[in-house]
Amino acid sequence: MSTVFGLRPLVLAAGVAVGSLMAASSANAVAISFSKITNNGNTDVSSQLSADVTDAGGGQVAFKFTNAVGVASSITDIYLDDNTTAVLLGLAGITNSAGVSFSAGASPPDLPGGGPFSFDADFAADSDSPVSANGVNAAGEFVTLTFNLIGGKTFADVLAELGSGELELGLHVQSIAPQGGSDSYINTGTPPTRVPEPATLALFGAGLMGLGLLRRRRAV
């Protein structure tokens, strides 16, 4: 009986750490990857394209698009297809990093090559002229689109829609080296991957350490 009582602090500590991990993870960025849907003879740059989705608070969600350039290229158009169970009310703002200049609306108004994939854009933004120079084309550059959520919708709803394919993201990438052409990309449709923050990783490590000590005590 004394051994059981001696283990209780470790159980509680591990439980608190794991519980804190779960609470902290709800505020983390969620990473979205992309796949190429057109075949225009250009290098596939899908591995260097990503979007981080975060809860911006106040009934808003933010999508931060980056291009970790390995192959020179520029994200010039961004499209969102918010299907039948819509979660997005409208574009609330655009944040451009240095070297990037995006505005609401896009030309063309829908994702090139998206038709066969039933991609029908509800929201769009594109880079200002000169389009490739003002697109997202270098490591460290980004553009963030912030949206108001429909009343009653939450960040969890956004993640669920991304996972189910009801909410889709599309990118038009231009000036792809060495060919210099363009291709279109759509998010992979797989469940989003949560990106842990350093503090979250520390909590997770503390939880595992507590559980490891618990197993050692039981073995003794």
Q: Supply the DSSP symbol for 161.
A: H
What pLDDT shows up at residue 10?
A: 32
The model's pTM is 0.76
Q: Report residue 190's pLDDT band, with 50, 70 and 90 as the boundaries.
A: low
Contacts of 211 (CB under 8 A, 6+ apart): 14
**Reported confidence tier of residue 201, pLDDT bands at 50, 70, 90:** very low
User: 103-117: per-residue pLDDT in tens?
Assistant: 999 999 999 999 999
Question: Given 2.30.30, 2.60.120, 2.60.40, 3.30.980, which CATH number is that of 29-195?
Answer: 2.60.40
* Averaged pLDDT score across all residues of the chain: 82
- CA angle, 214 then 194 then 198, to 5°: 60
Q: What is the mean pLDDT of residues 187-216?
A: 52
CB of 77 closer than 8 Å to CB of 145: no
Nearest to 141 by CA among 43, 68, 220: 68
- Domain residue ranges in the chain: 1-27+197-220, 29-195
User: pLDDT of 15-58, one tens digit each?
Assistant: 333 333 333 344 579 999 999 999 999 999 999 999 999 999 99
pLDDT value of residue 27:
56
Whether 53 contacts 192, CB under 8 Å = yes
Q: Please state, in angstroms and rounded to a whole number, the distance separating the CA atoms of residues 50 and 72.
A: 15
Determine the pLDDT at residue 215: 46
Rounded distance between C-alpha atoms, residue 170 and residue 14, angstroms: 41
Residue 61 vs residues 19, 83, 166, 171, 188: alpha-carbon distances, Å: 24, 17, 16, 18, 20
Q: According to the model, what pLDDT value does residue 85 have?
A: 87
199/159: higher pLDDT: 159
Of the listed ranges 62-66, 92-96, 195-199, the least confidently predicted one is: 195-199
Can you give the pLDDT at residue 16?
35
Give the number of residues written for the chain.
220
